[in-house]
């Protein structure tokens, strides 16, 4: 490779990313949760999408007010809207 070869710069950058990691650390006050907590809305969100901003999946343990033993929703009500 020549000194002006753009591939040399790309290879160096890729090597640095491999050595030091390509991901940035989250700030100390950042939350790990990327879903919307909809517990308490009266619907047990058992099946949800996995994108950022989708409702969090709810279970009887995580949201007893929506998914408790006395609450049984029909299947069409168990799927969260996108």
Chain Cα centroid distance, residue 18: 24
- Reported as a single tens digit per residue, the pLDDT across 17-50 is 666 665 544 445 445 568 999 999 999 999 888 8
Among 55, 50, 46, smallest CA distance to 78 is for 46
Give me the pLDDT at residue 41, please. Answer: 93
Give me the pLDDT at residue 26, please. Answer: 46
**Strand stretches in 1-82, DSSP E:** none
Contact (Cβ atoms closer than 8 angstroms) between residue 7 and residue 1: yes
DSSP 3-state of 9: helix
**% residues pLDDT > 70 (the chain):** 59
Tokens of residue 82, six digits: 């996108």
- What residues are paired with 79 via a beta bridge? 47
Q: pTM of the prediction?
A: 0.45
Give me the pLDDT at residue 11, please. Answer: 81
Give me the pLDDT at residue 9, please. Answer: 80
Average pLDDT of every residue of the chain:
75
């Amino acid at each position: 490779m020549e000194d002006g070869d753009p591939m040399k710069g790309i290879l160096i950058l890729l090597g640095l990313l491999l050595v030091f990691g390509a991901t940035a650390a989250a700030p100390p006050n950042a939350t790990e949760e990327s879903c919307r907590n909809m517990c308490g809305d009266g619907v047990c969100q058992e099946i949800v999408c996995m994108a950022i901003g989708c409702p969090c999946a709810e279970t009887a343990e995580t949201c007893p007010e929506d998914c408790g033993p006395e609450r049984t929703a029909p299947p069409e009500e168990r799927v969260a809207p996108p």
